[in-house]
């Protein structure tokens, strides 16, 4: 992962009425206090992927005109600022003080007070941003505050944090890469990597290696051998092997299975090294291999050319996607199954907004109440009464997805620094590693089997590419649910008992796509989804707006939707205006 000194920072621009002779002087302290208060909020509430507080850079002086605006811009460029927030309690000269950088996410907080018109500056400068084609988020509190009130109202805090999380996600992915290991898997369109999408919309590079590079490194010993021994010992101790459900005459021998364990552990080390590099390899004489590909997300093709004769990537993907391994707790890596780059990006969006591991899954089956009762004899009730969706894929899902971590008394997936050692062990104990189904994976390997605990708030999202439109984003907030054990067994074994299962219920609304659970499944744009702990639809919508990716489907409460102010100029229909605005402004980096 990135080192702390290379992480982008949030720049705070205290904007002031530049008229000297009594006006500016009376506002200096208040304006700078707003900047310091917001910086404290961000430092307290926001964390980098390594768990350290997000850093803020405040302009050296209040900005009352173009000279100070330019000085601020120079400082921000020198100090790696990736997100810009202007704050003001008063009127100021809009076009002289605004941020002109077209590629940095930006917002303005105009203080709602009657003594000085911060709201007037906000409106005037947002109009300038809109006129000049530089979209900015507008933040304005619902209730009037006194000028000497240095607190941040609850609604203002929510918008500040939503904007900052979305902006930091944009800044963190900029300049990084998606590493495709292999090519297109089984005709899945999402694994036909589109470099224009990554470059124009995300500001990211694309890196490619053939799957044979993994095999080359295994055969030529291009990995840390000392770490491999440590990893293999940890795996034997903590990753319980399950029953072999293959037909007896097709089962691999014990010797073959043991070699498969050795192989998949090496795969895990190598895919990690391909993503981020490893200085140990340089010491071993492999200078080029030591550098990695600066990949913030990757994908492994696997099926079928690899898995027809070599152990599958399920173990490597599952462990890398988790928040822990033989070296202890650590930030999860984002690794997409079947090289589905679009689902990899969806996982990346969720991760950068939350710092939590992500579940990669097929959006596999809608179970209607009638179908459940017919095959199991149980009539769904409670949260399951309207039916549910079976999220399942070959065992590549993060082990955090077992739901064995706890936050506020509920099952959760947490940032790695909040996870206890006991929770790590519970996630491991809740996972069984089954010999891979040889019908799917002729080359063997192991697949993780677990059942996600019910009662966890989750958000599922997916980026899709649509000809004539470009990228779109789908969002479904909901919950994981528990089923009676007998019912779970009956339904689960109709698919593949060796794979991890999450039973998912979306929040229903009056919108057509969320009128019932069937409609959510029926309107989902692909076979895969990225599932994050927490209801983060608001942040995903804000992030998508910054990147100019329209949201085609969501169940977020309208009162929580937060987009740049210029979106209001594209009509009163929120979804239609989103498409029109994104089409008008085009990709962020084009």
What are residue 359's DSSP bridge partners?
531
Question: What is the enclosing helix (H) or strand (E) of 585?
Answer: helix 574-585
Kind of pairing between the strands at 359-367 and 335-337? unpaired
User: What's the order of all strands across the beta sheet hosting 106-110?
Assistant: 56-58, 9-14, 81-88, 106-110, 137-139
Indicate the DSSP class of residue 298: E
Is 352 buried (19+), middle (13-18) or exposed (0-12) by CB count in 10 A?
Answer: buried
Taking residue 95's Cβ as centre, other Cβ atoms within 10 Å add up to 15
How does DSSP assign 17-52, residue by residue?
---TTTHHHHHHHHHHHHHHHHHHHHHHH-B-TTSP
Taking residue 286's Cβ as centre, other Cβ atoms within 10 Å add up to 18
Could you give the angle at which helices 314-321 and 254-276 cross, rounded to 10 degrees?
50
Under DSSP, is residue 312 helix (H, G, I), strand (E, B) or coil? Answer: coil
**Which of the following is catalytic: 55, 224, 338, 492?**
338
**Which of the following is catalytic: 115, 227, 362, 516?**
362
What are residue 300's DSSP bridge partners?
181, 337
Under DSSP, is residue 553 helix (H, G, I), strand (E, B) or coil? Answer: strand
Tokens standing for residue 338: 């079947």
Is residue 42 within 8 A of residue 10, CB to CB? The reply is yes
Could you give the angle at which helices 254-276 and 212-219 cross, rounded to 10 degrees?
110
- CA–CA distance, 215 with 12 (Å, rounded to integer): 48
CA angle at residue 202 from 201 to 204, to 5 degrees? 125
- CA–CA distance, 574 with 551 (Å, rounded to integer): 10
Cα–Cα distances (Å) from 118 to 43, 141, 415, 507, 564, in that order, read 24, 11, 37, 38, 18
- CA–CA distance, 82 with 166 (Å, rounded to integer): 11
Is-catalytic flag, 213? no
Is-catalytic flag, 362? yes
User: What's the order of all strands across the beta sheet hosting 177-181?
Assistant: 205-209, 177-181, 295-300, 335-337
Q: Chain centroid to CA 139: how far?
A: 24
* Among the listed residues 534, 502, 505, 532, the one whose alpha carbon sits nearest the alpha carbon of residue 517: 505
- CA–CA distance, 392 with 390 (Å, rounded to integer): 6
Tokens standing for residue 191: 């694994």
- CA–CA distance, 285 with 113 (Å, rounded to integer): 65
Tokens standing for residue 233: 């010992």
Tokens standing for residue 474: 């789908």
- CA–CA distance, 395 with 433 (Å, rounded to integer): 8
Kind of pairing between the strands at 501-506 and 470-480? antiparallel
Q: Chain centroid to CA 504: how far?
A: 19
Tokens standing for residue 219: 């055969």
- For the annotated catalytic residues, the residue numbers are 338, 362
């Amino acid at each position: 992962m990135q080192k702390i000194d290379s992480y982008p920072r949030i720049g705070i621009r205290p904007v002031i009425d530049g008229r000297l002779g009594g006006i500016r002087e009376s506002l200096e302290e208040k304006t700078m206090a707003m900047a310091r208060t917001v910086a404290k909020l961000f430092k307290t509430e926001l964390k980098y992927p390594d768990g350290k507080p997000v850093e803020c850079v405040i302009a050296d002086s209040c900005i009352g005109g173009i000279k100070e605006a330019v000085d601020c811009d120079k400082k921000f460029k020198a100090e790696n600022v990736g997100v810009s927030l202007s704050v003001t309690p008063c009127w100021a000269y809009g076009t002289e003080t605004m941020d002109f950088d077209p590629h940095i996410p930006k917002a303005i907080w105009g203080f709602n007070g009657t003594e000085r018109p911060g709201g007037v500056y906000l409106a005037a400068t947002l109009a300038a941003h809109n006129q000049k084609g530089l979209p900015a988020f507008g933040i304005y509190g619902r209730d009037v505050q006194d000028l000497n009130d240095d607190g941040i109202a609850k609604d203002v805090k929510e918008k500040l944090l939503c904007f900052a999380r979305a902006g930091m996600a944009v800044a963190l992915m900029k300049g990084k890469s998606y590493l495709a290991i292999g090519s297109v898997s089984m005709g899945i369109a999402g694994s036909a990597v589109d470099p224009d999408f990554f470059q124009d919309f995300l500001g990211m590079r694309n890196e490619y290696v053939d799957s044979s590079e993994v095999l080359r490194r295994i055969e030529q010993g291009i990995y840390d051998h000392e770490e491999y021994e440590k990893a293999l010992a940890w795996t034997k101790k903590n990753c319980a092997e399950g029953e072999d459900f293959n037909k007896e005459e097709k089962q691999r021998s014990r010797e073959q299975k043991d070699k498969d364990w050795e192989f998949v552990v090496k795969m895990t080390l190598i895919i990690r090294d391909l993503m981020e590099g490893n200085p140990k390899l340089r010491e071993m004489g492999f200078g080029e291999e030591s550098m990695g590909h600066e990949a913030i997300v990757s994908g492994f093709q696997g099926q079928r050319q690899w898995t027809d004769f070599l152990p599958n990537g399920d173990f490597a993907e599952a462990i890398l996607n988790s928040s822990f391994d033989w070296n202890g707790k650590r930030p999860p890596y984002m690794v997409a199954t079947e090289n589905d780059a679009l689902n990899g990006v969806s996982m990346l969006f969720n991760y950068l907004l939350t710092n939590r591991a992500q579940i990669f899954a097929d959006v596999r089956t809608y179970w209607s109440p009638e179908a459940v009762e017919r095959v199991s004899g149980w009539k769904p009730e409670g949260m399951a009464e309207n039916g549910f969706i079976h999220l399942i894929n070959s065992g590549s899902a993060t082990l955090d997805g077992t739901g064995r971590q706890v936050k506020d008394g509920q099952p959760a997936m947490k940032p790695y620094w909040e996870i206890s050692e006991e929770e790590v062990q519970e996630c491991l104990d809740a996972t069984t590693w089954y010999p891979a189904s040889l019908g799917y994976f002729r080359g063997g390997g192991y697949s993780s089997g677990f059942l996600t605990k019910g009662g966890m708030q989750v958000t599922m999202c997916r980026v899709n590419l649509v000809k004539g439109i470009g990228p779109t984003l789908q969002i479904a907030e909901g919950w994981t649910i528990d089923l009676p054990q007998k019912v779970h067994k009956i339904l689960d074994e109709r698919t593949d008992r060796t794979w991890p299962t999450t039973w998912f219920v979306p929040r229903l609304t009056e919108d057509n796509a969320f009128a019932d659970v069937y409609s959510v499944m029926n309107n989902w744009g692909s076979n895969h989804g990225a599932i994050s702990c927490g209801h983060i639809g608001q942040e995903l919508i804000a992030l998508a707006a910054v990147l100019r990716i329209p949201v085609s489907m969501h169940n977020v409460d309208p009162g929580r939707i937060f987009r740049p102010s210029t979106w209001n100029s594209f009509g009163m229909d929120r979804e239609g205006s989103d498409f029109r605005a994104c089409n008008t402004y085009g990709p962020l980096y084009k």
